Amino acid sequence: MNEAFQVVWFKRDLRLTDHEALFQASQWSLPTIFLYIHEPEVFGSVHYSPRHERFIWESVEELKAHFAQKKLAFFSVEMSAIMCFEKLISLGLTCVHSIEEVGLEVTFARDRKLKMVFEKAQVQWKEYPYSGIRRGLSSRRDFNAYWYDYMSNQIPEVSWEAFETPLAITEQISGDMSLMQEKDKVNGIIQQGGISKAWLYLKSFTNERVANYMQHISKPEQSRKSCSRLSPYLAWGNISLREVFQHQYTAGQTSSYKRNMRQFASRLRWREHFMQKFESECEMEFVSVNRGYSELNYDDEWEKYERWKAGKTGFPLVDACMRCLIETGYINFRMRAMLVSFLCHHMNQSWERAANYLSGLFLDFEPGIHFPQIQMQAGITGINTVRIYNPTKQAQDQDPNGYFIKKWCPELEPIEGGLIHEPWNLTQMEQTIMGVNLGVDYPLPFLDLKQTHKEARERLYGVRKSPKIKSESLRILKKHTLKRRNP
């Protein structure tokens, strides 16, 4: 007869501290296996890419090293979760501990199937809330009070001595499950995964980089250093939001940059506000949160969409941001909003196209942030201000000397001064003198910003007063906001 054992299933919580599933499992007197499953069905989604897999692989390898030091068994396997757990059930699995994942429909569907598998086999599945997110929340009335209370609670410590490895079981499964293989190494300027990297970024931010946080938060070049850059570590769970919150609070007591630290803390809460919104209405992965906007008609110009994807629109800041994102997996919030606005407003293309492409590029892809934010920037919520970004003005304001543009669009490097923001205004003589050939070295714009801005305003504000959009706006306000607002 097989020895009964339990599994701690790691998902988007690739860490060892502030880990509720680990802590709770340590309270059970059962031999334990620690497990990460790399699922082909999940990573075959349009929203994932090799850069995500690489980041996870690096995180998992660090976890393996930690568990090896503790002489405990950590497995990373590459197969469907259903097949994996069916095998483990046959070997004596009696309990599984994991977080409640704020994920995609593909992971929700998997969990629904697993629930039936576990129930049939009489395996207990203990799921624990993800950070301060509550499943099934119907009202935001106490969201702030609950969130701050959760963030201030003492973090429980795992008793590692409570764990023992079921050796007989590990010997049986080691030959049956292939370890997740190393993914193709992505460009070295993409952030690396792992617990140690997460804490390195957090401490360097609160110790010094926070000094220019608010001054540089909107600037595409300076924000790369002055923002925390913690988003991928939070997205994949190398560090918990509570750990970040408590660390910044302690550091803020003696910091010379208390205002910047407070602004950073407010964005931590703002992050989970959007995650709670998605958890409560995850259909927004596929449909507009405000159903009234589903009647909008979009242009279906694939060639222009491909130019946007490749960073070849003819608008320097748009192209520089896209190329930077393709190469590094990161751009700051304002530039993300501008990319979405340019596609959805100026190009009149659907928010789904923005969501599907950008998710694979964002190293910090987090479903609970991604879909609500894309829809908000696309102007289809009915409750948020519609912001139609002018990329030329953004370039003049946020990259006045064109350093960021020249870094990522080197074909424009010879252009001097403010001319780089509107290169299409250069005469043929000026192009010759500067050594650029627009339309050959760098594309000319395929749209008129003034005209497309006017059309976008008319299109979005023209439908905003429709009965369906107004009723949906009231529903959204009631369900997702902390207090009543006028739509």
Residue 187 within a domain: no
- Boundary residue ending a domain (128, 146, 171): 128
pLDDT at 478: 86
Residue that has been written with the tokens 């934010």 in this structure: 373
Helices (H), 76-175: 81-90, 105-121, 143-152, 167-174
In a 13 Å sphere around the CA of 251, the CA atoms on its Cβ side amount to 23
270 and 325 both lie in a single domain: no
323 and 293 both lie in a single domain: yes
pLDDT at 185: 55
Identify the three-state secondary structure at position 45: coil
pLDDT at 433: 93
- Boundary residue ending a domain (108, 128, 148): 128
Number of domains in the chain: 3
Chain segment 397-428, per-residue pLDDT in tens: 999 999 999 999 999 999 988 899 999 999 99
Range of the domain at 94: 5-128
Residues of the chain with pLDDT under 70: 1, 171, 173-188, 482-487
Strand partners, 9: 35
CA distance 316 to 443: 10
**Kind and range of the H or E run holding 75:** strand 74-78
CATH number of the structural domain spanning residue 111: 3.40.50.620
**Kind and range of the H or E run holding 10:** strand 5-10
Residue 168 within a domain: no
Identify the three-state secondary structure at position 463: helix
Residue 342 within a domain: yes
295 and 241 both lie in a single domain: no
pLDDT at 279: 93
pLDDT at 182: 53
Show the tokens assigned to 472: 């949906």
CATH number of the structural domain spanning residue 449: 1.10.579.10
Identify the three-state secondary structure at position 185: coil
CA distance 313 to 242: 41
71 and 18 both lie in a single domain: yes
328 and 384 both lie in a single domain: yes
Instruction: Give this prediction's pTM.
Output: 0.95
**Kind and range of the H or E run holding 33:** strand 32-38
5 within 8 A of 163, measured Cβ to Cβ: no
pLDDT at 138: 80
In a 13 Å sphere around the CA of 189, the CA atoms on its Cβ side amount to 9
- Boundary residue ending a domain (277, 300, 327): 277
pLDDT at 169: 75
